[in-house]
Amino acid sequence: MSAPLPSWRDGAVRNAILKFVNDVTRDGSPSYVPPEARIAVFDNDGTLWSERPMPFQLIFMIDQLKAAAPQHPEWKRNPAFKALMANDAAALARNETALLQLLEVANSGMTTDQYDQSIRQWLASARHPALDRPYTSLVYQPQLELLDFLRANGFQIWIVSGGTAEFMRVWVTAAYGIAPEQVVGTQEKLKYVWRDGKPALYREPGIEFNDDGAGKPVGIFRAIGRRPILAFGNSDGDREMLEYATGGAGPSLGLLLHHDDAGREFAYDRHAGSASLDKAWDEAAARGWVVVSMKQDWKAVFSAAPARSP
C-alpha cells in the first residue's frame, strides 16, 4: 500500500499530521476519538485552492457586473464603476463600499437556479489571469491528498469559508469530494417567490450572515453542532476558527498554510489585505498550531491532471 500524503515532504509537519490522525483513530489510544466526533473544517480560499490576485468568487462577481453593465447605463456615472473599468486600484480603494453595492446588485435579481447556471458557465470558460489555468485546476494537490487521508480514517470534512455557500456548492463535490450540504459559508439574502408558475428562491442584494473571522465558529455551531478537532486555514480570517477547534478539552490539531512560494504560486503573509497571515501566525506558536510552508513542505502545489468539471 502506498504511503499517505505523497505530495507532502517528509518532516515535522507531515509527521505531526500523521501522528495526530493515528492517535485519534487507533483503538486503545488515550487520545482516541469516536468517528462521529472526528470533524475536520477547512477554509477554502487560500487553503484548498489559490486566492490571488483576489478571491476567485470576487473575480466571478466582477465579471457578472461587467456583463450586466449594458442593462445599467446609470452605472457609467458611478465612480466605483469607472474605477473598476479603468483598473484604477487607488480609486477602487476610495470607493470600496460603492463597489460592493454594485456587485450585490449585479449578482442578485435572479433565482438560485439561474445563479447556479451562471457559476457553472463561468467556471467552464474563465482562466486565471497569471497562471493561465481554469480556476478549478488551481486546487492544491497536497490538500486533496489530505482530504482523502482524513476520509479514509473516518473524518467528516466540512468547508467553512468567508465565500458564499451558494457559490461553492456548485463545484465542491467535483473538486474536493465534499458534499454541498457540508459547506458553511457567507449567506446572502433570499426570498421565496413564484416565477413562471413555479416556486423558486430569488436572490436579493445584501448579506444575512458573514462567515468570516468570529463568524466562523458561529457558522460551525449552527451547521455542525459539534466542535471540530481539526481546523486548517491560511489567514487571520481563520484565526477564530482555529481557536474554537483547538480550544476544547480533547485532542485537536490546528494548521495554517503559509504562502511562501513565489515560484510555484504566490508569496504573501502579514501585509496581504483580507488574506493577511499576521495575528494568527503570531498566535500559532503559543497555541501549538502547525504552520505549513508551501515551499518547504509540499513537493507539488497543483495537480498535473485535468480538473473535474462541476
| Per-residue model confidence as pLDDT tens digits over 136-151 | 999 999 999 999 999 9
Which long-range contacts does 142-145 make (Cβ < 8 Å, 24+ apart)?
Answer: 142/5, 142/7, 142/8, 142/297, 142/298, 142/299, 142/300, 142/301, 143/42, 143/47, 143/48, 143/232, 144/176, 144/303, 145/4, 145/5, 145/6, 145/7, 145/8
Instruction: Show me where the domains of the chain are located.
Output: 12-52+128-297, 57-125
Q: Round the average pLDDT of the chain to a whole number and report it.
A: 94
Pick the CATH number of 12-52+128-297 from 3.10.450.50, 3.40.50.1000, 1.10.10.10, 3.30.870.10: 3.40.50.1000
303 has a pLDDT exceeding 80: yes
Q: How confident is the model at residue 309 (pLDDT cuts 50, 70, 90)?
A: low
Q: 480550544: which residue's cell? A: 247
Please state the rounded mean pLDDT for residues 287-304: 95
Q: What is the pTM of this model?
A: 0.94
pLDDT by residue (tens digit) across 195-253?
889 999 999 999 999 999 999 999 999 999 999 999 999 999 999 999 999 999 999 99
Q: 479514509: which residue's cell? A: 152
